[in-house]
């Protein structure tokens, strides 16, 4: 997987424990992740099973890393990450997902996350390594991957997810893929915050990222090769 360096976080420096927040709607999973991370020397400063609560708590707690579950009863980790990019921009986010790798990289790109970790049995070392490298300013997803995935998300007019979207939703998708925050999208399209949030939610629903969505996108050409 490609890597690139980001500016070091002002909330973490070598020698200090990395402060982590966990978002997952299963309490036993949260407890298991917390035990795993604390055993490896991380400081788990908080957790939640709700997207709305997590957005509020992470803004207050200001962890170094937020590990965000892909789909939640009241939203997605993608939406939480997008909220944090405005409310707590120094917090780096990782999407914890059960999607396949191509869908996972789409999620990370649309969220503006530093990267993602797949939910797999025995994948604990990958999570620990990803958190450490992300806190050190080395993002798991390089800019070349982001650009190519962003282009492929809206380059084909006949794609089923584009045909299902309104004109405004297509514009929101294009700006999300370019890395704009919700606030920047609102400025670009001259839309109020609630309209942008609704547009983002609709885009994620039609791309197959929300829990109740039945529409799963077709594979993005060349995205798989870019991950290796």
DSSP the chain: ---EE-PPPTT--TTSPPEEEEE-S-HHHHHHHHHHHHHTT-EEEEEES-HHHHHHHHHHH--SEEEEESEETTEEHHHHHHHHHHH-TT-EEEEEE-S-HHHHHHHHHHHT-SEEEE--TT-HHHHHHHHHHHHTTEESS-HHHHHHHHHHHHS-TT-HHHHTS-HHHHHHHHHHHTT--HHHHHHHHT--HHHHHHHHHHHHHHHT-STT----PPPPTTHHHHT-
Q: Give pLDDT, residue 62.
A: 94
Residue 76 sits at the vertex; the CA angle it makes with 226 and 217, to the nearest 5 degrees, is 45
Structural domains of the chain in order of their starting residue, each with its CATH number: 4-142 (3.40.50.2300), 144-226 (1.10.10)
Q: Answer for the pair 133, 140: CB distance below 8 angstroms, yes or no.
A: yes
Residues near 223 by beta carbon (within 8 Å), at least 6 away in sequence: 102, 105, 106, 145, 148, 149, 152
Along the chain (228 residues), what's the average pLDDT of each consecutive run of 10 residues? 40 78 94 95 96 95 95 92 92 90 87 90 85 88 78 65 86 90 95 95 87 45 35
pLDDT tens readout for residues 137-188? 887 777 777 788 877 776 555 577 778 889 999 899 989 988 899 999 999 9
Which residue reads 């909330």 in tokens? Answer: 11
Q: Give pLDDT, residue 2.
A: 35
Q: Give pLDDT, residue 119.
A: 85
Which residue reads 């790798």 in tokens? Answer: 101
């Amino acid at each position: 997987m490609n890597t690139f360096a980001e500016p070091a976080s002002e909330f973490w420096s070598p020698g200090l424990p990395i402060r982590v927040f966990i978002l997952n709607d299963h309490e036993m999973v949260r407890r298991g992740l917390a035990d795993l991370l604390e055993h490896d020397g991380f400081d788990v400063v908080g957790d939640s099973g709700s997207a709305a609560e997590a957005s509020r708590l992470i803004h207050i707690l200001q962890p170094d890393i937020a590990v965000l579950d892909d789909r939640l009863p009241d939203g997605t980790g993608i939406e939480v990450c997008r909220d944090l990019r405005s409310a707590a921009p120094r917090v780096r986010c990782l999407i914890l997902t059960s999607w396949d790798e191509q869908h996972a990289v789409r999620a990370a790109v649309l969220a503006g996350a530093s990267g993602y970790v797949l939910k797999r049995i025995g994948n604990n070392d990958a999570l620990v390594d990803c958190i450490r490298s992300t806190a050190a300013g080395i993002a798991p997803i390089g800019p070349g991957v982001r650009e190519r995935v962003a282009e492929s998300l809206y380059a084909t007019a006949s794609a089923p997810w584009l045909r299902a979207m309104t004109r405004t939703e297509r514009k929101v998708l294009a700006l999300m893929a370019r890395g704009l925050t919700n606030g920047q999208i609102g400025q670009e399209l001259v839309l109020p915050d609630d309209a942008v949030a609704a547009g983002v939610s609709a885009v994620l629903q039609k791309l197959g990222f929300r829990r109740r969505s039945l529409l799963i996108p077709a594979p993005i050409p060349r995205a798989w090769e870019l991950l290796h």
